[in-house]
Amino acid sequence: MKKIALAIALLLHMHTFAQNPPTIEAEQPKWWKEAIVYQIYPRSFKDSDGDGIGDLKGIISELDYIKSLGVNTIWLNPIYTSPNDDNGYDVSDYTNIMKDFGTMADFDMLLKAMHQKGLKLVMDLVVNHSSDEHKWFQESKKSRTNPYRDYYHWWPAENGKPPYRYSLFDINHDAWKYDSTTNSYYLHYFSAKQPDLKWENKQLRQEVYNIMHFWAQKGIDGFRLDAFQFAAKDTTYPAFPKGYEKNFVQYYGMQGNLHGYLQEMYYEVLSKYNVMSVAEGAGNTFEDAHNLVDADRKELNMAYAFEAVDLATHKGYRLTDLKNVFAKWDSAFAEKGWLSIFLASHDCARLVSRYGNDKEPFRKASSKLLSTLLLTLRGTPYYYNGDELGMKNIRFSSIDSYRDVQTINGFVYEKNNGGNVQAYLDQKAETSRDNARTPFQWNANANAGFTTGTPWIAVNPDYKQWNRAAQEADATSTLHYFRKLTALRQQNPLLVYGKFTLVDKSNSNVFAYTREWKGEKWLIALNFSEQVSNCLLPFAVTNSQVLLNNLPTEPRLGTHSINLDAYQAVILKLPR
């Protein structure tokens, strides 16, 4: 009798165990894990007043479109007052709106309208550096004793030349710029008009927290911390080994007391609001990334790791590398911490041109395939505006067409240093950030319906065929397919929290993986090649249900294999 009671107790225990498995951090539900973030580049999205530059009223006018995509969060690139050396990433007033984009009243209207529609707003916080036109810098450069002097990094010239620091956007690649007023150099990791702020100064940090309170009290839902892994510095400025700029993240990332500042920011600001936080950059190792985002660290919610998005060069990439990168980051964060998933942004060329195939007849299928990948991995997807239409690289041939400070200053560097200017232009046609910044293609009218004026950057001439209006009318469009994907993710926690396992790892054409959650198992199989390709599976798929397929042809299911057409993407629910 006793034995039977014991057996029943044991069975009951096992049952409860199965129903309520021990909670691991990565499986704890959070709204920001379930978010599908749609990134809007405001300058290029929609112009409401005919000045050729997108604006907040333009975004308001398209909120129904954004809502219809099935995304639930918008990340806006910087909309603060700025002289626009780097399109808003050089802020001259953090609590005002850039004139080109509208007014604070427009912002309030945007936020209210978004919240009424159930859309959350994440704002860019650009505080590794400010604009050189910010009041802080204007004061700082006046004298060595100015109260704002220590808001920036200065090196007195009587100490000789400062140790070399590489600048990402400088025409000489030199991050120290001499300023004669005080006979000193200031530090700028980005352009000379983006001096780095000195996080080591408590007063500066307090200014930033006040800015964050200002926006959080307006009711925004999150902050994206621009270039934040670089914010803290070793202010003894030690010399770095020759050639260090080839892996500058190792030298610039996670320096000094960065984690201390983040914990302070969490305590002073983030913990007081229901806001999410995401860092651009995740350091150099898994450990760096965990130290930023593990919940018990009380720093940030998630980070962008760059390894996957950095794989594609102007010469392409290897699919097996992409598979390995996603798989290894997933496994390192399977239990603790959380990551962003992305392969495109305003900082890279277009998704379909870099990771897919934008030539006919493959553009549509490969664009859908890439959306499938981004929406079915574990982590919060950040999806860049226009990719739902399969927008592709414009591939400018002349330097005069470019607007991006990085591309233009890089050209000056090549010219001044005897580089091969034509080779530079050929490479930039594939890789420049301006490829992703051409105006959003709304319809086949003049300027793709983006503006009634002259657009600040050329519209991609393919807009007559590739635009939102045309895609609304075509049931097989990339746009409609994207909506199916977001619906699937919104309705299935499996796609958010489910375990990820790579299958047929060495297959160089097909990227296939399973997601598993509460006894359910799905297979996602993506043929990244122009050839019909076979993928081998360690389980049977014959009685699976096809949940989504980007092509009219059915996938050919063998018992332990699946055969896919060129750029075919399928999501299968496996029999239990």
Residues annotated as catalytic are 226, 280
Tell how far CA 198 is from the center of its chain.
Answer: 25
Which of 39, 478 has the CB closer to ligand GLC? 39
What residues contact residue 486 under an 8 Å CB cut-off, 6+ apart?
36, 69, 70, 71, 375
Which of 45, 190 has the CB closer to ligand GLC? 190
33: left (phi over 0), alpha (psi -120 to 50) or beta: alpha
CB of 14 to ligand GLC, least distance (A): 50
Which residue from 89, 101, 136, 513 is in contact with ligand GLC, where contact means CB under 6 A?
Answer: 89
Measuring CA to CA, which residue among 409, 512, 395, 504 is closest to residue 458? 395
What order do you get walking across the sheet with 561-564 strand by strand?
A: 533-536, 561-564, 556-557
CB of 245 to ligand GLC, least distance (A): 16
Residue nearest to ligand GLC (CB): 89
Which of 167, 549 has the CB closer to ligand GLC? 167
Which of 188, 489 has the CB closer to ligand GLC? 188
CB of 224 to ligand GLC, least distance (A): 9
Which of 280, 288 has the CB closer to ligand GLC? 280
Which of 124, 207 has the CB closer to ligand GLC? 124
CB of 193 to ligand GLC, least distance (A): 11
What number of chain residues touch ligand GLC (CB under 6 A)?
9
| Contact status: 288 vs ligand GLC (CB under 6 A) | no
CB of 416 to ligand GLC, least distance (A): 22
Instruction: Tell me the CA distances in angstroms from 233 to 163, 278, 457, 467, one per residue in order.
Output: 13, 20, 36, 45
CB of 406 to ligand GLC, least distance (A): 7
Instruction: Tell me the CA distances in angstroms from 54 to 12, 98, 345, 356, 449, one per residue in order.
Output: 61, 11, 17, 28, 11
Which of 76, 569 has the CB closer to ligand GLC? 76
The answer to whether 359 and 472 are in contact (CB under 8 A) is no
The answer to whether 390 and 367 are in contact (CB under 8 A) is yes
CB of 36 to ligand GLC, least distance (A): 20
- Residues of this chain, 327-386, that bind ligand GLC according to CB under 6 A: 346-347
Which residue from 197, 227, 319, 523 is in contact with ligand GLC, where contact means CB under 6 A?
Answer: 227
534 bridge partner residues:
563
- Per-residue binding letters, 230-269, with ligand GLC (x by CB under 6 A): ----------------------------------------
Classify burial at 471, counting beta carbons within 10 Å of its beta carbon; exposed 0-12, middle 13-18, buried 19 or more.
buried
* Strand 222-225 to 276-280 pairing: parallel
As a whole number of angstroms, the distance between CA 194 and CA 322 comes to: 33
Which residue from 86, 299, 330, 430 is in contact with ligand GLC, where contact means CB under 6 A?
Answer: 86
The answer to whether 200 and 257 are in contact (CB under 8 A) is yes
Residue with tokens 């042809």, as numbered in its chain: 553
| Contact status: 126 vs ligand GLC (CB under 6 A) | yes
Sign of CA dihedral 453, 80, 434, 400: positive
Which of 249, 470 has the CB closer to ligand GLC? 249
Which residue from 226, 358, 430, 434 is in contact with ligand GLC, where contact means CB under 6 A?
Answer: 226
Residue 368, classed as helix, strand or coil, is helix
CB of 126 to ligand GLC, least distance (A): 5
As a whole number of angstroms, the distance between CA 225 and CA 124 comes to: 6
Which of 151, 228 has the CB closer to ligand GLC? 228
As a whole number of angstroms, the distance between CA 33 and CA 44 comes to: 28
As a whole number of angstroms, the distance between CA 343 and CA 311 comes to: 10
As a whole number of angstroms, the distance between CA 49 and CA 286 comes to: 46
CB of 472 to ligand GLC, least distance (A): 30
Measuring CA to CA, which residue among 100, 121, 115 is closest to residue 57? 100
Local structure of residue 548 (DSSP, 8 states)? E
Which of 86, 106 has the CB closer to ligand GLC? 86
Which residue from 190, 304, 522, 567 is in contact with ligand GLC, where contact means CB under 6 A?
Answer: 190
Indicate the length of the chain as a whole number.
Answer: 576
| Contact status: 404 vs ligand GLC (CB under 6 A) | no
CB of 525 to ligand GLC, least distance (A): 33
The answer to whether 106 and 166 are in contact (CB under 8 A) is no
Determine the longest span between alpha carbons in the chain, in angstroms: 93
Binding region for ligand GLC (CB under 6 A): 86, 89, 126, 190, 226-227, 280, 346-347
